[in-house]
Structure 1
Amino acid sequence: MDHQTVCCRSFLPRAREAWLLCGGADALHREPMTPSPDLPGLFTWTGALADCPLHPTILWSEGGGQTFQAVDPYSFPPHISGFDLHLFGEGRHWHAHRMMGAHPEVRDGIPGVRFAVWAPGAERVSVVGDFNHWDGRSHPMSVHGGSGVWELFIPGLPDGALYKFEIRNRESGQIFVKSDPYGAFFEMRPNTSSRVFASRGYEWSDDAWLQRRSAPNAWKHRPMSIYEVHLGSWKRGVAGRFLGYRELADELIPYVRDRGFTHIELLPVTEHPFDGSWGYQSTGFFAPTSRFGTPDDFRHLVDSAHRAGIGVLLDWVPGHFPKDAFALARFDGTALYEHEDPRKGEHRDWGTLIFNYGRSEVRNFLLSSALCWIEDFHIDGLRVDAVASMLYLDYSRQANDWIPNEYGGNENLDAIAFLRELNRTIQGNHPGVLMIAEESTAWPGVSRPPETGGLGFTMKWNMGWMHDTLAYFQLDPIHRRHHHNQLTFGMLYAYTENFVLPFSHDEVVHGKRTLRGRMPGDESQQHAQLRLLYAYQWTYPGKKLLFMGQEFGQGTEWSEDRELDWYILQYPLHQGMTTLVRDLNHLYRNEPTLHAAEFEPEGFAWLDCDDASRSVLSFLRRGGDSQMIVVLNLTPVPREDYAIPAPHGGLWTVRLNTDSEFYGGGSRGSLQARAEARPLRGFTHTLRLDLPPLAALILAPG
């Protein structure tokens, strides 16, 4: 064939007739394409090069009188650069999500969608969807050499088009149909297809917030009170309908601001197929769940929070993923994202698979997921779930069910290296963004820099403090004298990490009851002890976290299937509880004494931690030039004329009494007292106070 002619072929498996649209823009005409006698669906046109556009349009009929047309996708060359592929193969492509997945774009004036997927074990990968009858013969992709990255640009796809990848394994010939690992949007469960999402270019209005956030290490000395939320069950609409992201922006954000919280922490909104997993078994690591709206709707929720002065944290789960056949598990017929050996690649307890952190492309996947939420959705921090399960090769395993590392130890060296890289990358590029570890063991240096041997997180949940505290409070007060050390022991390690004090969703499910339900006694005593517990949490060194519903004394265990028990707010004790939480938050935020030195030993001193016989604790909080005294009476016995040490003389006034009638108490106890110059327990002065039963007093000078 000479250079003046060209041959155009198109494979249209359902077509009966096909035509090529030829000629210039002013003189377009249809030229019939010749069907192949040997391969049904293959059509060919041969003609003058001048008559064939650079990007030919094919028309075809499938019978019934209807005609379809599309621009030939194979007239567009591959777009992904060699440099991108090099970074991806080395595990240094921080923004792999901008290369992989489905991206609406315009090529040579023609709108379409560029698809890319990593499937090195495949001999064929096709894009299938509602636009091609889910037929893998229609849109096979091309592979970039040995990278395992497949790519195809398909012109003319509409926003919202459903798609998956059909993958034929090279060795077995098996065919798998998978959702997009890098998908930006998904169908509403139980359907599992990915959706093309063409953002309209969301216009953020939170520049001032981001600028304030970016001050390095400012979070250490700022108050941080976190309201943990499961969006699907905080509040529901008519007939149990989910509230959308935009509705939640209108209702949740003002509520959180009114209660005085500084941040919300969302249980995972990464797309997930099963409501009962609460989002912790994610299949869409780059996509806000479609249960509540579009990705831009989610941006609006975050933006609204920032405009209201509320930070947004996201629970993020790089420790494991579910075995669902439509998602990551054996993605191309091989153990691609997971380990082949189940002794390294499977969580026995959870029935999930463990990421292979030693594989460059998997590290890319997770690292770019984290950066996507921070950069594309303006998330202020990630709470990394189940870090302990990542650190230990023998986590929750029998003795013969794990493989030691190369040195014979039980540490997962690849996971450790990944976590350090993750924290270095995020904090190095986004100062002020928080990385919080849910880590339940005594692993040293979780919130210390990698260069000193730490993991590099900014903070860690204090699970030991939480367990000891709740174990103590659920005791009958008559027995508490024998367990006094459960409240004092935590101070021995309080400054080994930067701690968050969590009363999270995990403490109010699976038969554990609510926080109020754990307290002994009648309803009035339960409320009194819950108020006491919150005063202890808010005045103890460390950032604060409280799961939704506990701020008003939720009566029943949390369930993802229903909204919170909002109706109980009509009752005075519950009204008092939410008033107390609001007042504690405002006191904590407004008084540097309570937040300026939460991670430094100079911010705290015991006044008397030894009175186990009467179950009374007293301590001093310091911040800047100011001081506050906190006294906890942990029994239902009033303590009159009770002596505690004081750091100096003068008048001390009660700033908050959890027994106040405003909170549902009896308004007992001292209002103020003058410290006398009588040494006590190493301090120069003594205060004598009347302590109300099951209550806390917070005092300040003056």
Structure 2
Amino acid sequence: MLPSSGWSGTGSLSSNPLLQCRNSPLSQFRAASAPSLSRNNSGHSNALKRRSSGKTHAKPNTKVTEDLSPLELLRRENELLRETINSADSAIEELEAQLQEEGVDVSELEKSLAEEEAAEASKLEAESDNPADFWSPVAAPLPADAKLDQPYGAISPVPQHDGTECLKWDDSLWSHADHFKYRWNVFKGIRHAIEQNEGGLDKFSQGYNYYGLNRGEHEGKAGIWYREWAPGARAIALIGEFNNWDPLPEHWAVKNDFGVFCLFLADNADGTSAIPHRTKVKSRVETAYGEWVERIPAWIKWATQEWNEIQFNGVYYEPPEAGAPGELPTFETSYSFKYPRPKRPENLRIYEAHVGMSSEEPKVNSYLEFARDMLPRIRNLGYNAIQLMAVQEHAYYGSFGYHVTNFFAASSRCGTPDELKYLIDEAHRLGLTVLMDIVHSHASKNTNDGINMFDGTDAMYFHGGGRGYHWMWDSRCFNYGNWETLRFLLSNSRWWIDEYKFDGYRFDGVTSMMYHHHGLQMAFTGNYDEYFGMATDVEAVTYLMLQNQLLHDLFPSVITIGEDVSGMPTFCRPVAEGGIGFDYRLQMAIADKWIELLEEKTDDQWEMGNIVHTLTNRRYAEACVAYAESHDQALVGDKTIAFWLMDAAMYDCMSINTPSPVVDRGIALHKMIRLITLTLGGEGYLNFMGNEFGHPEWIDFPRDDIIDTSTGKFVPGNGGSMEKCRRRWDLADAEHLKYKFMNAFDRAMNHLDKAFAFSDDPHQYVSRKDEHDKLIVVERSDLVFVFNFHPTNSFTDYRIGTYLPGPYKIVLSSDEAVFGGWENVSKKYDVAYQTDEGLYDNRPHSMLVYAPSRTVAVYAKAEFCDAAGDQAVTGIPGLGVKGRGPHWQA
């Protein structure tokens, strides 16, 4: 085995990231074998030189052609470098064979060469003032006096390792180390290309300041710049109300060599804008085929739909005046933020919400009404974050916001961009973190009001042909290897945080992005070959790595959550380790498990071990957001947990004066399911709005009759009705209805986590999962949870193990009257439970408790409990916490 030569220079093999992906001791030599064999070394090195003379090795062709993107150039260079590696491998094998025949000790030779290389490298480094001679400039530290224009942090250099640092968390991943190295080197290569061609990721991700419609100057005149990347278009003119939809000669954009059309509109002589604020605009495009079409600018920042029109129009949105901080925006004024971002929550409790359907009335709700009515409700329930759905503009309301047409535009159905800013600022005032459900996994196939076929081609931002179409979602798939697609999407995520002060994202449909098969008709078994093979879309994965590094570097408190059903390893490990970089993944299997049990099993068939396994089956050192149900389970065609449990009884038996064993069972299990999910499911928790009180029925957006393009079947609409596209808050607030019990328990459950911060505590231990008794005992943080899922049996003097010695008291019980229970086990009795020493259920202490049927009781150290705690000013009904609790978080 032979050491690396350290060959350096422009286009050097040793500096190319692809060549750092080998893991054998010979890898460093292979990375630069051709030049090392021709160096004038002493002793055996000369022998190597003689033996290698005449060998031919491929060198990378770095000639740049104008019609190739930097990513395409990088891919082609890597292909050539692979040929170099293969050629070098053959040469090394021949050399080793010859040396062994001559009796040369290869290990001693390797040691000798390594010493020579180290001495020479030290000498060269001492003589050089340029550290870039010795490592990639992408990884070079920033100068001490470097000025950074980003508001929060700096883009970190790429760490100098091979992308396998994240494998330390799972040794079994080493069998796929080559994939991680390749993935890392593709990531490094893209980062390097962005540094070289765009001046860095920071500048690259601010495309919204260049593309689209922006105020600026040209030749000393103020005005509006319009820029659009449309390589397939022959001509583009800007049209709108400002020119009566008929472009003058000065309204035609000029196309440069990179496919970017540029147009400058100087202000009017009186100083007013050439395009008035809140007036309609569109692009008139001549495609490569000579067809004339009208499109909404791809980077438009607002789009609206008139009441009597089907299609959306782009709108030039630039309020002429800035309002006072915190003051409601008007037609002429923009909103100025007043409140700082809240501290990043340590125990994430997310309230998933859709502004449009949040009204109690059958209508589309507004940003201002949501801020006024919903934000106080969410805070009162004990959630510390909201996740806003359907923020990006989408022409089809019934898509739930997932068929995005205008990626930089806030949905106009709910109000103006500045009214959305007011909502976010008001949430920050209340201490709520605001996350956005962002869609980068696909786009609407709409052409007239979307970005599809903007220039007349089927590619542009997307893959061309069949690869660019998602047959199940009937939408377009992005090409994450396209340079301008990267700019578009990276800028998009930065835009919403920079401009609107969002605090993070839930990335939708990530599984579809990461695999060529989109995860469709694929049952992931956990076999690592399913994650690291030809089915993996490495370009999409490296895009996600870029996205996470960008966001976490510029906005250190940002939260990123990925919707991944596959269980991709390293999904939630930092990019610096070679991971994909998300903070959390959605633990999607839990909701499926609850539906499976409710739909297919009787209560006595529930397996405690299977429930615990599903709740705890997550990758080590990768955080998860758990949920019992989300918006997916609430849509028409599915059922919420409450509806599975109580079904038709929800129509007739929800009065507190109407006895119903069906409703009693339903409410009891509803409470238990939600608390055990919060307790065991992950490091964060999510609830979809209304499900906290068991909202009846389903969500059905207004829709017309359609033909499903994926199946060809007729799907009847609902006549455009909004009746089931709202939230019945009146049910939760009605004192005479049982919905209030579930609502109250959800509030107490969240405030228990607020007081004890248990949901992300690393101490999690299941001491008992008894299949006969249907009982689960869990320790999380310093709390002990006793879940009795038995449909009929209650247990007196039931011994459970504890890690800490007592005494304990009940701090929360689902059997409290305020939660619709019978008070068989209640904090109001103020019983102190003493513990006995001695191993029980593998715990050093134990105590005797009462465990009624279909009840959960939570025990805390007595010093933190107060039976009358809910009577205090800051008390929460049904919660027996002393004061605010030992780990209270605002």
TM-score > 0.5, shorter chain as reference: yes
- Structure 2 residue aligned with 1:631, among 786, 803, 807? 786
- Structure 1 residue aligned with 2:555, among 426, 430, 436? 430
What CA distance in whole angstroms lies between the structure 2 residues aligned with 1:587 and 1:90? Answer: 42
Alignment of 1:272-351 (within 5 A): 272-326=394-448, 327-351=450-474
What CA distance in whole angstroms lies between the structure 2 residues aligned with 1:415 and 1:202? Answer: 41
Instruction: Confirm or deny: 8 A CA contact 1:91 1:363 kept in the other structure.
Output: no
Instruction: Confirm or deny: 8 A CA contact 1:338 1:353 kept in the other structure.
Output: no
- TM-aligned CA deviation for residue 555 of structure 1: 1.1
Structure 1 counterpart of 2:81: none
- Structure 2 residue aligned with 1:485, among 602, 610, 615? 610
Structure 2 counterpart of 1:228: 352
Structure 2 counterpart of 1:67: none
Secondary structure at the aligned position of 1:700 is classed as strand
- Matching of residue 553 in structure 1 with residue 671 in structure 2: no
Structure 2 counterpart of 1:522: 662
- TM-aligned CA deviation for residue 439 of structure 1: 0.5
Secondary structure at the aligned position of 1:617 is classed as strand
What CA distance in whole angstroms lies between the structure 2 residues aligned with 1:479 and 1:341? Answer: 53
- Matching of residue 543 in structure 1 with residue 684 in structure 2: yes
- Structure 2 residue aligned with 1:357, among 462, 480, 488? 480
Instruction: Confirm or deny: 8 A CA contact 1:89 1:361 kept in the other structure.
Output: no
- Structure 1 residue aligned with 2:750, among 581, 585, 603? 585
What CA distance in whole angstroms lies between the structure 2 residues aligned with 1:679 and 1:89? Answer: 59
1:395-437 CA-partner distances (Å, limit 9, x unpaired) = 25689xxxxx9x9701111111111001001101110101110
- Structure 2 residue aligned with 1:377, among 475, 497, 500? 500
Instruction: Confirm or deny: 8 A CA contact 1:472 1:487 kept in the other structure.
Output: no
What CA distance in whole angstroms lies between the structure 2 residues aligned with 1:89 and 1:135? Answer: 40
Secondary structure at the aligned position of 1:122 is classed as coil
Secondary structure at the aligned position of 2:779 is classed as strand
What CA distance in whole angstroms lies between the structure 2 residues aligned with 1:340 and 1:223? Answer: 39
Structure 2 counterpart of 1:212: 343
- TM-aligned CA deviation for residue 339 of structure 1: 4.1
What CA distance in whole angstroms lies between the structure 2 residues aligned with 1:371 and 1:451? Answer: 20
- Matching of residue 179 in structure 1 with residue 303 in structure 2: no
Structure 2 counterpart of 1:568: 731
Structure 2 counterpart of 1:194: 314
What CA distance in whole angstroms lies between the structure 2 residues aligned with 1:262 and 1:359? Answer: 38
- Matching of residue 681 in structure 1 with residue 841 in structure 2: yes
- Structure 1 residue aligned with 2:379, among 257, 260, 273? 257
- TM-aligned CA deviation for residue 647 of structure 1: 2.0
- TM-aligned CA deviation for residue 150 of structure 1: 1.2
Secondary structure at the aligned position of 2:540 is classed as helix
Structure 2 counterpart of 1:498: 623
Structure 2's unaligned 5+ residue stretches are 1-193, 268-273, 327-336, 523-529, 647-660, 702-721, 863-890
Alignment of 1:48-59 (within 5 A): none
- TM-aligned CA deviation for residue 492 of structure 1: 4.3
- TM-aligned CA deviation for residue 260 of structure 1: 1.1
What CA distance in whole angstroms lies between the structure 2 residues aligned with 1:121 and 1:90? Answer: 26
Corresponding letter in the other structure for 1:523: V
- Matching of residue 157 in structure 1 with residue 253 in structure 2: no
- TM-aligned CA deviation for residue 515 of structure 1: 1.7
Question: In structure 2, do the counterparts of structure 1 residues 341 and 88 end up closer, same or farther at CA, with 3 Å as the change threshold?
Answer: farther
Corresponding letter in the other structure for 2:259: G
Structure 1 counterpart of 2:209: 98
Instruction: Confirm or deny: 8 A CA contact 1:96 1:365 kept in the other structure.
Output: yes
Question: In structure 2, do the counterparts of structure 1 residues 575 and 150 end up closer, same or farther at CA, with 3 Å as the change threshold?
Answer: same
Structure 1 counterpart of 2:859: 699
- Matching of residue 669 in structure 1 with residue 825 in structure 2: yes
- TM-aligned CA deviation for residue 491 of structure 1: 2.3
Corresponding letter in the other structure for 1:242: V
Answer with 423-432 or 679-688: which moved more: 679-688
What CA distance in whole angstroms lies between the structure 2 residues aligned with 1:161 and 1:648? Answer: 67
Question: In structure 2, do the counterparts of structure 1 residues 642 and 459 end up closer, same or farther at CA, with 3 Å as the change threshold?
Answer: same
Instruction: Confirm or deny: 8 A CA contact 1:322 1:329 kept in the other structure.
Output: yes
Secondary structure at the aligned position of 2:340 is classed as helix
Instruction: Confirm or deny: 8 A CA contact 1:169 1:175 kept in the other structure.
Output: yes
- TM-aligned CA deviation for residue 631 of structure 1: 0.7
What CA distance in whole angstroms lies between the structure 2 residues aligned with 1:566 and 1:350? Answer: 32
TM, length-normalised to structure 1: 0.80
Structure 2 counterpart of 1:507: 633
Identity of aligned residues (%): 25
What CA distance in whole angstroms lies between the structure 2 residues aligned with 1:121 and 1:513? Answer: 46
Instruction: Confirm or deny: 8 A CA contact 1:233 1:559 kept in the other structure.
Output: no
Instruction: Confirm or deny: 8 A CA contact 1:572 1:664 kept in the other structure.
Output: no
What CA distance in whole angstroms lies between the structure 1 residues aligned with 2:520 and 2:755? Answer: 47
1:20-47 CA-partner distances (Å, limit 9, x unpaired) = xxxxxxxxxxxxxxxxxxxxxxxxxxxx
Instruction: Confirm or deny: 8 A CA contact 1:481 1:613 kept in the other structure.
Output: no
- Report the aligned-residue RMSD: 2.8
Structure 2 counterpart of 1:534: 674
Corresponding letter in the other structure for 2:493: A
Corresponding letter in the other structure for 2:583: T
What CA distance in whole angstroms lies between the structure 2 residues aligned with 1:150 and 1:119? Answer: 7
Answer with 575-584 or 200-209: which moved more: 200-209
What CA distance in whole angstroms lies between the structure 1 residues aligned with 2:233 and 2:606? Answer: 66
What CA distance in whole angstroms lies between the structure 1 residues aligned with 2:464 and 2:223? Answer: 40
What CA distance in whole angstroms lies between the structure 1 residues aligned with 2:520 and 2:672? Answer: 39
What CA distance in whole angstroms lies between the structure 1 residues aligned with 2:324 and 2:544? Answer: 32
Question: In structure 2, do the counterparts of structure 1 residues 523 and 204 end up closer, same or farther at CA, with 3 Å as the change threshold?
Answer: same
Corresponding letter in the other structure for 2:352: E
What CA distance in whole angstroms lies between the structure 2 residues aligned with 1:280 and 1:648? Answer: 48
1:612-660 CA-partner distances (Å, limit 9, x unpaired) = 11211001112xxxx1100101123222222211224332111000111
Secondary structure at the aligned position of 1:232 is classed as coil
Corresponding letter in the other structure for 1:96: G
Question: In structure 2, do the counterparts of structure 1 residues 131 and 329 end up closer, same or farther at CA, with 3 Å as the change threshold?
Answer: same
Question: In structure 2, do the counterparts of structure 1 residues 255 and 398 end up closer, same or farther at CA, with 3 Å as the change threshold?
Answer: closer
Structure with the largest fraction of helix:
2
1:514-570 CA-partner distances (Å, limit 9, x unpaired) = 221122671121111101112212222420100011111101112343211223222
Question: In structure 2, do the counterparts of structure 1 residues 248 and 537 end up closer, same or farther at CA, with 3 Å as the change threshold?
Answer: same
Question: In structure 2, do the counterparts of structure 1 residues 577 and 492 end up closer, same or farther at CA, with 3 Å as the change threshold?
Answer: closer
Secondary structure at the aligned position of 2:286 is classed as strand
- Structure 2 residue aligned with 1:645, among 801, 811, 816? 801
Instruction: Confirm or deny: 8 A CA contact 1:226 1:263 kept in the other structure.
Output: yes
Corresponding letter in the other structure for 1:196: Y
Answer with 88-97 or 523-532: which moved more: 88-97
Structure with the largest fraction of strand:
1
Corresponding letter in the other structure for 2:753: Y
What CA distance in whole angstroms lies between the structure 2 residues aligned with 1:334 and 1:476? Answer: 51
Secondary structure at the aligned position of 2:834 is classed as strand
Question: In structure 2, do the counterparts of structure 1 residues 553 and 211 end up closer, same or farther at CA, with 3 Å as the change threshold?
Answer: closer
What CA distance in whole angstroms lies between the structure 2 residues aligned with 1:313 and 1:636? Answer: 39
